[in-house]
Amino acid sequence: MGRTNTKLKPVKKADLQIVKPVKTVKYNDIDLNSWRDYSHVKTDTLWEFPTRLKEGGHSNEYHGNYIPQIAQQLYERFTQKGDVVLDLFFGSGTSGIEAINMGRRCIGVELKQEMADHVEQKFTPEQRVTDVRTICADSASQDAQEKIQAALDILNGPDSKAQFLVLHPPYDDIIKFSDKKEDLSNCASTEEFYDLFGKVAKNGYDMLEKGRFAALIIGDKYANSQHIPLGFGCMQKMNELGFITKAIIIKDMQGNERAKGKTANLWRYRALAGGFYIFKHEYVMLFQKV
């Protein structure tokens, strides 16, 4: 038989596809080799969302819940799939709903039993076992800490910690959420509000894994003809616990609030008469446990 000579075509270097290993930081799944593909992830300190997201299980049924887009941004930047988010002011469950949507898990602490029962129904029986735990307790208490640890032991293993902390407290006494004395919205003074917030944040600090992040979502208020900087007062409490401040984000509230109707004109009159400005922003403050 004749010998067959097969001539191999030379391969140009440009034809080779070099697959780079995924490059991430320890606390998220963002591939830094493809960082241009993450244009939807915000990296600046001004956040604007034209409307509140009402899809994926979210609703605007509860006055005071933060918008889901905040959770989306925070989870993608500061968590990995399967991580546990701890929310110490669970409210209507925004943190838990978005955790499920994004492949994370969540433990939420809610003071009011009726609200905790209501939020439970937003998740399937399977999700309530494997992905979301709702705890009815005072977030500042030892009881809450013990229940959180029990939930973490089940979700992550014995003596484990959460990978992300969410704190969205009442903005002092602007809106009353219950008649319970443990409710931060019932504090007799702003100093009492700061002290009680500090106790809640301490539980969060203790339950958070070292090196991981916490988000404080809060606005300021006016009282006695002066601006009360609740955000910075709470930031100081976080720093006193050992958190370092990583960012102060200004979030535009326009389009995210419930309709004010004719009251908008009333507030404009009051601002002109009283020498103050109407709030159109709140803060998303980022901290790290070092």
Question: What is the spatial distance between Cα 177 and Cα 170, in angstroms, rounded to a whole number?
Answer: 8
- Scan for tokens 């320890």, then name that residue: 26
Q: Is residue 11 part of a domain?
A: no
- Split at pLDDT 50, 70, 90, the class of 15 is low
Percent of the chain with pLDDT over 90: 77
The pLDDT of residue 58 is 65
Q: Based on the structure, what is the number of domains in the chain?
A: 1
Q: What is the largest CA-CA distance in the chain?
A: 105
pLDDT value of residue 228: 95
Residue 206: other Cβ atoms inside 10 A: 13
Q: Kindly list the distances between the CA atom of residue 52 and the CA atoms of 47, 55, 60, 258, in Å, as whole numbers in the listed order.
A: 13, 9, 8, 10
Sign of CA dihedral 41, 211, 233, 106: positive
pTM of the model: 0.89
**Structure letter (DSSP) for residue 177:** -
Which residue has better confidence, 56 or 131? 131
Token pair, residue 185, equals 């919205």
pLDDT score, position 175: 86
pLDDT in tens, 91-100: 989 999 999 9
51-110 pLDDT, tens per residue? 877 766 666 665 567 999 999 999 999 999 999 999 999 998 999 999 999 999 999 999
Range of the domain at 199: 25-289
In a domain, 18, yes or no: no
Q: What confidence tens digit (pLDDT) does each residue in 211-269 have? A: 999 999 999 999 988 999 999 999 999 999 999 999 999 999 876 655 455 567 888 89
Residue 93 is assigned to a structural domain of this protein: yes
Question: Which H helix or E strand runs over 81?
Answer: none
Q: For residue 181, what are the contacts with CB-CB under 8 A and spacing of at least 6?
A: none
Q: Pick the range with the lowest mean pLDDT from 10-14, 30-34, 182-186.
A: 10-14
Q: Is 2 inside a domain boundary? A: no
> Which residue from 232, 85, 233, 234 is spatially nearest to 163, judged by alpha carbons?
85
CA distances from 83 to 50, 105, 117, 124 (A): 29, 6, 24, 19
> What is the dihedral sign for C-alpha 95, 101, 107, 113?
positive
pLDDT of residue 1: 47
Pairing state between β 281-289 and 243-252: antiparallel
Q: Could you tell me the CATH number of the domain that includes residue 129?
A: 3.40.50.150
Average pLDDT, the chain: 90
In a domain, 10, yes or no: no
Residue 85 in domain: yes
267 occurs within a structural domain: yes
Q: Is residue 166 part of a domain?
A: yes
